[in-house]
Chains A and B, each alone.
Chain A
Amino acid sequence: MKLKYILFLVLVPIIVSCSKNWLEPNPLSFYTPSNVYVDQAGFEAGLTTCKKEMNAENHGDLCFIVGENCYSDLAVELRESDWNKLTPSSSPRQAILKLFTNGYGYIKNANTIITRIDDITWDDQSVRNRILSEALWFRAYWYYRLVNTYGDIPWVGEELKEAKLDYFSTKREVILAKLQQDLEYAQEWLPVKAANLGGVTKGANSHLLTKIYLALGHFDQAITSASAVINGPYALMTSRFGVDASNSYHNLMWDLHRWQNKNASENTETIYATVDRPDAAPGTWFNNVGTASMRNYGPSYWKVMDATGNRATNWDTAAGDSLGIGNGDVRTNWFFRYGLWQDEQYQWDETPDMRRAKTNWIEMGEMTSDIITVREGSPNFGQPLTKKYYKNLADTTDTWFSWPYYKVYVPTPNYAQPWGGQGDWYIFRLAETYLLRAEAYFWKGELGLAADDINKVRARANAPLITAAEVTLDYIFDERARELFTEEPRHTEMVRASFIYAKLGKGGYSVETISENNWYYDKVMRDNKFFSAPKYTFWDNTATVHPYNMLWPIPQNVITANTLGRINQNIGYEGAQLNEPPLDVIP
């Protein structure tokens, strides 16, 4: 019987003994903000994410830059060309809604660094300021893209610490002014040359600042800022270089657009380029596919038939690896392929312009193409693909168009299908800086200086030079198309220019009526016959655009989730009737 009481005495203490810290949460395998942003390394790691995210512009199926071209004067989105069918809640394929939601995700990551920058004591204030400046630049980059895509949007300038559902839209110009202020601060602290690739430099800052000055109508400051880049450690490439330098079949323009050359030290033209390498560990890639550049920009030539009604050259035949498995997503128009390259002097196939050189494009002409039938057993073996065997010419929409091969060819060592693999890509390049300064001169009416800058770019490409009389905004943007296709956010830049036009009150445009009448729409209708004179209904879509489509719709689910505030919808889209006046200060 005694044992029983002894047991009782042993067990009761077990019952009661519990340590004080018993219920403290103890994360084991992940970091929390409080143990990451404790030293310089933590903040640099935050910047690493920002650098990697820049790849979103040009990596992946239907990536952002693809969307920029699809809704411009140069092309249509193959399957979603009818704006009547694209609503604030429905755009399953395109970047139209994705840019907004993802863009704010990138802004959030920059905001974390900006908000926490003074949580620690910095031994060296210049390191603090440089890190802060880089974060401000990444934030400004995405805000610049968003305000010139969606107009007035909410300003989020701090790291979020708790739930917040009462956002209001802020005026586009107010946000731009804030960006200007941030980047002017950053200009002082950023290095001339980054310690590693992906780092932000004074040059990248000045280039972005140039765009912001332009957008705000500060043309003189834009010229100063652009000149700072042009007079800096940059120069247009004028001689062959890089991986294929010794291959005489190619020319300088080919060299400029090989992914291996974009961040090469000998390339003096690069101001900022993303980094993504096929030979690095898969975990470092932005995605598994890669750039998907051949997918996005090439036609589905592999569907073209031979005389037997079978595919003449499928993508999984030998040629497919280098041509890629195009999907025709960016369905370029006649203007881009031909109109842009001919003038009073030359036809498109005669122009000395290296950017339209035969070696740089795959031609799919009126009846025949550069691509040869390679299907064994085909009666057309060895002959070029031909339109002759098409059963239905509407099918040429996705299968038959020439494309600038030199811009999109990226080998695909890591992906089963040749879509276009991992590779570096330009964000800012000196050629654009010249065109930005030309634009500033244009707005100021100094057309001679504008022509000079444009000619710098043209001369390097061996294109005929132009005179001051030929400089128009259309011309500047045509030059941008020739030089910067697949690189520039074309729609964003066109919106920026449209706002300048409206703000200056030139060309019959005004800010008040911009949703009904704008330069973007007019240029699209002038040059993009898909919209102004649709020939085929393809994929159930007849390409349609309205002036108000210049600004893309704010995703409806963002508006509805913001239950305690009002994020404005752009005029023309459903829901805009509920708009409230946007804020004219940074909240």
Chain B
Amino acid sequence: MKLSIFMLLILITAVYGEGKAQKVSLSLKKADIETVFNAISKQTNYRFLYSDDVITRVGAIDITVNNRELKEILNHIAKHRNLRYKIIEHTVTVNVVGNRNMVTANGSQPDVMVTGKVTTQNGEPLSGASVFIKGGKGTTTNAQGEFYLEVPSLQSTITISYIGYVTQNVDINGQKQVIAKLENNDAALEEVVVVGYGTQKRKDLTGSITRVSGDVFEHHAASQLNEMLAGTVAGFNANQGATAAGGTSMEIRGKTSLGASTEPLIVLDGAIFGGSLRDINAFDIESIDILKDASSAAVYGAKAASGVVIVTTKKGKVAKPTITLSSKIGRAESNNQRRGLNANEYIAFREDFLRQVNPSVDYQFYTNPNELPENFSLDQWRNLSANPLDDNVQEWMARLGLFDIEKNNYLAGRTMDMYDHVFQKALRQQYDLGISGGTSAIKYYWSLGYDNNEGIRVGDQYASVRSRVNLDFKITDWLNVGMNTQFSDRNEGAVPASMDFYVNSPYGQLFDDEGNLERYPHGHSNTPLLDYYRRSVTDKKYNVFSSLYAELHFPFGIKLRTSFQPYYHESKYLTFTTISKKLGGLDSETPSGERGESSRMNWQLDNILSWNKKIKDHEFDITLLVNAEKNNFWSTSMKNKDFSPNQELGAHGLQFGSSPEIVNDDQVSTGDALMARINYNYLGRYLLTASVRRDGYSAFGLEHPRAVFPALAFGWVVSDEKFFKVDFIDRMKIRTSWGANGNRDIGIYAALARTGSNLWYNGSTTEVGVYTSSLQNSGLRWEKTTAINLGLDLIMFNNKIDLTADVYQMNTTDLLMDRTLPRVTGFTSITSNLGEIENRGIELTLNSRNINRTNFRWNSSLVFSLNRNKIKELFGDVGTYTLLGKEFNGEVPDFTNKWFPGQAIDVVWNYNVTGVWQLDEAAEAAKYSMQPGDFKSEDVNADGKYVDVEDKQFIGYTVPRYRLGLRNDFNFLKNFTASVFIRADLGHIGSYVDALNIGYQSNDRWNRNVGPVPYWTADKPNNEYARLNVNTGAYGGGLSIYKPRSFVRIQDLSLAYRVPVGIVENWKLKNLEFFASVRNLATFTKWPGWDPESGMTPMPRIYTFGFNLSL
């Protein structure tokens, strides 16, 4: 039996002080014993400690006393109601007599008094900690952390617990004095979680919310928030960025839309943030809360269907100023060296290709005359040309169509690998400085950060300066005002070397003899460095995002918070292409420049009225919100070319060109919202959250500007129930929630028909032409996701293991999508609300504290998630259609977008490629108008034709079927910490276009344009990759090649050393730490492209070294 935490709270808060015997006056009728004790506590400085059965045993009491001694009253009650009590210091422990008798009966010895002290690991006394004997008797510690307890035997075990600390069981083992040091519990239940327009204690949560602390990532190289989270949170799917700037898309739980964006909403310090994630400095992040289920997110209503990510930045605390300096320097390189064909392979490829496209020419025609087979003489070879050149090698090179540069370099034995000019070992730097502190009147936090990253491709770079000021002023005891403001200055002006470098021949050269950039390194096809050398780009972005607030505290716990959140964005994009021979320019080219300037001014106004009240065992938290927003965007872009008298002014003098063009694109949108929420709990055991939000948005202003989104959630702390008697479970909570959310993430003018315009010169004047470019849909409305979530939180084995499990089902209706129209309409699609998608999933998070010794600690965290989605309904067009070779009667699929009712959005509908037609299958292949070397696929109905609706099958999925993340943290030799994070995305496939060997991929004038992709030849057949210049025309509806994209990777590995406090103090520092880390150390995959995560984009591997210092 344990006491409920709720009661403990009462005891802790009870007033106590020093004094002699106390006098009490009471006048109560039919009161329960609890009320009596409470009344006594109020008049004295005594606290009462008792178990639930005391209350039941006593029942109702009538008591009227005037100015009597406490002991006298207690004796009276104890006698009449069969209780025992003991006063130690100022705590009155009350027990039921029967219980004690039972203990005595079972035990062999009379009661023994044990004393003890409870402290933290640092030796600070813990007052108010609970100390129990198993069986019900117990007490609490006093202000010095001391306790006295009668135990039935000196062999008893006592349990010591304190909120926020790991519960300890102590075997007395004959000792009369117990010293217990409680260990801080990281996953403490008291932790406050941000829930949107407020906070909640983790223990009171009803929804599915995952919190990630900012310091988890402080040793890592990830430059953007979503990269930090990639793989670490169950149900949160983000990919790492591959560029210098970093950052890619993210998604929570699953794809809930076919047309609208499914990026989660970002809330920054309580304000909805419309800017770029790149503006948020990871250094400033205190914590990230990810709201996954509908009820948690529902307070954000119309914007929250894709989940919410709440970022909380560091705030000042009442303390002396602390200065923190963090510095990271790193090296990045591609984690996969995918080089093009080398010199020998190139020549072989040219021969193979020309033989392939010129089948009427003798096979040996293209063979190197020095490598002729024995039965083929040089004369025979020479006679294949009508007029062979005298020199055999020259003749051969001419047959291969090599360019002059190639011939010269071939003869001189000079080769090059363009890969080495396109890729580089990149330098990454990141420096951050933070100052924080405060007094009771002002709390402050200020930081300044500078990032400068090179990309792994030459010319890719990124730099940013970011600063943040968080201030909070306490004007009076009822008024706080403050602001959270961030500023960023990003420089994204990168001109990376082109990825089209495979086209260049290894016999080319980068510069000519005069040092000019070779436009065509081997005589054909641009150099991948053309833009890098001649194009200048300035791409600056300046952002200020601020939340200015005032918080008023009224009586009865009512609070009004008004905040105004302006967001200013200014961007400048200047680009200029200089034309000169030195930089690979051609005589016929003209210099050109473009200049785009845009600005954004968005604001939100939030008024939040909240009321927190506790009435006996009932606790309420009511939040009301009124919100309005307006988003303005202005953009101007200018283009010009052909400048006179010269191009020296670049993009700064576009007015000197001959063909100016101007484009304006201004936009405005507005929105508003009302929201009400109640959090209620009874005894801390039964939890309820209910909310409703009404949103308005001008994009739906034609017919459905507003929509309502309700939500409801329950939580039940089962382990607090009397009947719950599972020893190894410390705490168990069941959560369930239901709610609806919206998605409005489409173009703000998507509902309107748009008239496009063009210019035309009629021979005498310029006319403006108009045409309808998009169809109107005035009935456009919100996409709505209704979701249920069932969750379980378990803490087990004395806090050693905690497990959070969630299952969910989300149904999205009124999908915003671009519905494909037959092109006879003149349009390709119309934005519509149609159909339904279902997402279901499971998420597990398992944290365990595996080893916990002074010299070695090992914690691990395992996350697992899976999501299955299904298109339940599409357009509602019912009819007969053919699919998989069968006639169906039902809802017709969208073949264009490959959306099939009943199937997943990401299902792959394609021919099941079984291999490549081999030479002995020529006759078979010919039936399909194909030849050996072409792709062979399953012809399901064996009719000798590849027809998409008959022979295409569902062959896999493009989104990972299972996602796993395993993080292990080690703490050893006191001052060392190490962590390793392993991540796996499993079970999906990806389209590998390069395997098709079609069109642009091969040509008689250039190298194999897809790099190291094998190909079939009659001499070297294989059964996976087709011949050069493959024919896929026989595949109705087209053919794609898919390859497995599963991977396991060691994503992060880090090691840190904290200089011991004793040494650091000598240097007048508070803290000093050195660390080293590697990102993407190793990847295990069968994917043949650059990287299974980024697909056909090279992924960096980053080595980082750094230190953190504070004083």
Binding site for B on A (CB under 8 A): 1, 4, 7-8, 11-12, 14-16, 18, 22-34, 36, 42, 44-52, 84-90, 92, 100-101, 104-105, 107-109, 111-112, 153-154, 156, 159-165, 167, 196-198, 263, 275-277, 280-284, 303, 305, 307-311, 316, 387-395, 412, 415-418, 536-540, 555-564, 567, 574-575
Contacts and interface: CB of A to CB of B under 8 A. Distances in A.
Contacts of B755: 30-33, 36
Given A25-B702, A29-B667, A560-B895, A49 B404 contact: no
B560 A11 contact: yes
25 contacts: A4-B554, A22-B672, A23-B697, A26-B698, A27-B749, A33-B753, A33-B776, A48-B768, A52-B758, A105-B826, A108-B772, A162-B830, A196-B763, A198-B763, A307-B387, A310-B404, A391-B399, A393-B386, A394-B361, A412-B588, A539-B357, A556-B1036, A558-B823, A563-B894, A567-B824
B855 interface: no
B769 A45 contact: yes
Contact of B823 (A1, A101, A109): A101
Contacts of B937: none
B705 A23 contact: yes
A539 B768 CA distance: 43
A308 B879 contact: no
Nearest to B775: A160
A89 B479 contact: no
B766 A281 contact: yes
Given A14-B605, A23-B672, A90-B1038, A48 B767 contact: yes
Nearest to B819: A163
Interface string B604-617: 01010000000000
Contact of B394 (A26, A156, A303, A309): A309
Interface string B728-751: 000000000000000000001101
A284 B666 contact: no
A8 B641 CA distance: 59
Contacts of B758: 48-49, 52, 283
A559 B825 CA distance: 12
Contact of A23 (B607, B696, B823, B896): B696
Contact of B389 (A89, A167, A309, A564): A309
Contact of A49 (B401, B769, B875): B769
Contacts of B1036: 87-89, 556, 574
Nearest to B880: A578
The 5 closest A-B pairs by CB, nearest first: A108-B826, A309-B398, A48-B769, A49-B769, A280-B761
Contact of B770 (A45, A280, A555): A45
A36 B770 contact: yes
B757 interface: yes
Given A28-B668, A104-B824, A563-B892, 6 more contacts: A32-B776, A45-B757, A48-B758, A161-B775, A309-B397, A561-B896
Contacts of A33: 753, 755, 772, 776
A567 to B, nearest CB: 7
A539 B359 CA distance: 9
B562 A564 contact: no
Contacts of A307: 387, 389
A25 B698 CA distance: 5
A376 B157 CA distance: 103
A109 B929 contact: no
A576 to B, nearest CB: 12
Nearest to A196: B762
B69 interface: no
A87 B357 contact: no
Nearest to B823: A101
B581 to A, nearest CB: 13
B19 interface: no
Contacts of B399: 391-392
Contact of B365 (A50, A108, A391): A391
Given A11-B560, A18-B672, A52-B769, A4 B825 contact: no
Contact of B832 (A31, A163, A303): A163
Contacts of A316: 586
A169 B877 CA distance: 19
B896 A30 contact: no
A46 B769 contact: yes
B779 to A, nearest CB: 9
Contacts of B768: 45, 48
Interface stretch (B52-60, B1026-1034, B1074-1082): B1026-1034
Contacts of A7: 479, 550, 552
A417 B588 contact: yes
Interface string B585-617: 010110000000000000001010000000000
Contacts of B560: 8, 11
Contacts of A30: 749, 754-756
Interface string B700-729: 111001100000000000000000000000
A435 to B, nearest CB: 27
B666 A46 contact: no
B177 interface: no
Contacts of A15: 607, 626
B358 interface: yes
Given A23-B697, A51-B762, A90-B1038, A163 B404 contact: no
Interface string B986-1020: 00000000000011000000000000000000000
Contacts of A90: 1032-1033, 1035, 1038
A275 B821 contact: no
Candidate in A29, A107, A154, A263 with the most chain B CB atoms within 10 angstroms: A29
B954 interface: no
Contacts of B892: 563-564
B965 to A, nearest CB: 40
B762 A42 contact: no
Nearest to B661: A283
A29 B665 contact: yes
Nearest to B627: A15
A25 B826 contact: no
B701 A416 contact: no
Given A48-B770, A167-B824, A23 B671 contact: yes
Contacts of A159: 772
Contacts of B659: 281-283
B759 A165 contact: no
Contacts of B852: none
B777 interface: yes
Interface string B807-849: 0000000000001111111110010100000000000000000
Interface in B92-131: none
A92 B1000 CA distance: 11
Interface in B274-318: none
Contact of A85 (B401, B749, B877, B1031): B1031
B556 interface: no
B776 A107 contact: no
A167 B825 CA distance: 9
Contacts of A52: 758, 760, 769
Given A196-B764, A564-B892, A281 B628 contact: no
A463 B216 CA distance: 89
A104 B825 contact: yes
Given A4-B554, A23-B672, A416 B761 contact: no
A563 B754 CA distance: 25
Nearest to A42: B770
A25 B999 contact: no
Contacts of B389: 307-309
A384 to B, nearest CB: 15
B470 to A, nearest CB: 23
Contact of B698 (A24, A48, A415): A24
A167 B827 CA distance: 14
A275 B761 CA distance: 7
Given A14-B607, A87-B1036, A108 B827 contact: yes
A418 B586 CA distance: 12
Given A31-B755, A558-B824, A540 B357 contact: yes
